Structure 1
Amino acid sequence: MKILHLETSSKNCSVAISEGKKLLCLCEETSENYKQSELLHTFVKWAIEGAQISLKELDAVSLGAGPGSYTGLRIGASAAKGFCYGLNIPLIAVNSLETLAAPFLATDFDLVIPMADARRMEVYCSVYDGNNGQVITETEAKVLDETSFQELSDKKVLFAGDGARKAKEILQLPDATFNAGVLPSAQYLIGKAADKFEAQNFEDIAYFEPYYLKDFQGVKKK
């Protein structure tokens, strides 16, 4: 199977092409200005060329479905639906927090907590078993305070994602590890997307909506 992967839920605009569970090409760029609308289709073109295939060879499109940036998710979902309709191929959706957790599973951590910044002291997060990757706590929007995650103080915990920066400032967990430099990447959609393709676990393209988790809140420019 050849799959196009789109991940636009964060400041990282990321596109990948895979065959089976093998990465063929990855194009991505992180920008503080959220450049998905400018870069996404160019990156798709480059990824297709880099993988040395044509669009007509694609068997599916997988999308990092959120939670994350409202505008980024809208852009990614619109593009994914367009490719699926145009090529008559299925759509696969993967929770974007899984792409944050994936690089750190089966390592030395008891728990991996992917954490995406949701403004102020709020984050989107979930909890994964660091050994087998099982979901312990489902995705939620959580307002952080000094008592957050205190029940995990006896565990070896990794907080990963741009939300880990604010977590490090406020959480009272001296033995925890915080990696704020990692962002969701299309390359980590590959494994889950391949499994979903094999199971024929596809989305209804017409009615699919990204995983916003909470309503859009606009910010007025100063």
Structure 2
Amino acid sequence: MSILAIDTATQVSSVAVASEARLSAELTMQARLTHSETLLPHMEQVLKMANVKKEDLDGIAVSIGPGSFTGLRIGLAAAKAVCYALKLPLIGVPTLEAMAWHYPVPGVRIVTLLDAQKGNAYRQSFRFHEGRMEAQEEITVSGLLEVISSCGEMKEPVVLLGDVVPKKIAGKLELPANVSLAPAHLVMPRAACVAMVGLKKLAAGEVGNVMDMEPVYIRRSEAEVLWEKRHPEAAEGGAK
């Protein structure tokens, strides 16, 4: 069973082809090019690298958020189009859960973070137990200082990963003794991790509807907030 996995939740563009037995190919890059420019060519390239025809795929797994509003929409739209055209199952994979699979290590609290702007981060923590990645809390939006403080109160080693680690934590905030940062090659989202979660979901029959699957935003976009500030009468009318 082979699936194509997509992660465009951040500035990183990542596409992979994987099966239960192996990761056949992965292309991950962070550049100034937009996902709308790179995603489709990368999908074609990674299938060629894996020597897998799109007609032989068993499903498409896509990172559904939280993360970049535009990136999530582009990734999900591409996944939906391929699934609709090839009549394939669509598997939505929570971004923070997929990231936690960088550290499938028992006895460690894995805290995944993605930039939510204005000194905040989308946050969720996990423990790996008996082959499962178990969420320890719901996704929240927290201030970075609050994140560091709460991690310091945990009675186990904590590892932080996500795009805010190199941008806003490493070398900028003091860390408690039990908290460490993921190294550079394990900080950012990867389609390989989306594929691992996607394969498990596909095997369990946990697939989505191509027509109505939506990204998990958690909060409204900055554009929506600014529009409401500039058009309070329209916002109030819509709330009635």
TM-score by length of 1: 0.89
Q: Distance in 2 between matches of 1:140 and 1:46?
A: 36
Q: Could you report, residue by residue, the CA deviation over 1:118-163 in whole angstroms, capped at 9, with x for unpaired residues?
A: 1121101101125553211122211233573156254311111122
Equivalence for 2:192: 187
The answer on whether the counterparts of 2:152 and 2:178 sit within 8 Å (CA) in structure 1 is no
Q: Which ranges in structure 1 are unaligned for 5 or more consecutive residues?
A: none
Q: Distance in 1 between matches of 2:71 and 2:194?
A: 17
Equivalence for 1:126: 124
Equivalence for 1:24: 24
1:203 to 197, 200, 208: 208
Equivalence for 1:64: 63
Q: CA deviation at 1:59?
A: 1.3
Equivalence for 2:3: 3
The answer on whether the counterparts of 2:152 and 2:176 sit within 8 Å (CA) in structure 1 is no
Distance 1:140 1:79, change over 3 A: same
The 5 A counterparts of 1:30-179 are 30-31=30-31, 33=32, 35-106=34-105, 110-130=108-128, 133-145=133-145, 148-149=149-150, 152-165=153-166, 166-168=168-170, 169-170=172-173, 173-179=176-182
Q: Distance in 1 between matches of 2:128 and 2:169?
A: 19
Q: Which ranges in structure 2 are unaligned for 5 or more consecutive residues?
A: 227-240
- Structure number with larger C-alpha Rg: 2
Distance 1:90 1:131, change over 3 A: closer
Q: Percent identity?
A: 26
**Aligned letter for 1:10?**
T
Q: Distance in 1 between matches of 2:183 and 2:217?
A: 21
More helix by share: 2
- Figure out how many residues of one structure are paired with residues of the other and give that number: 218
**Aligned letter for 1:17?**
V
SS at match of 2:61: strand
Q: CA deviation at 1:2?
A: 1.5
The answer on whether the counterparts of 2:35 and 2:71 sit within 8 Å (CA) in structure 1 is yes
Query: What do you get for the CA RMSD once the two structures are aligned?
Result: 2.2
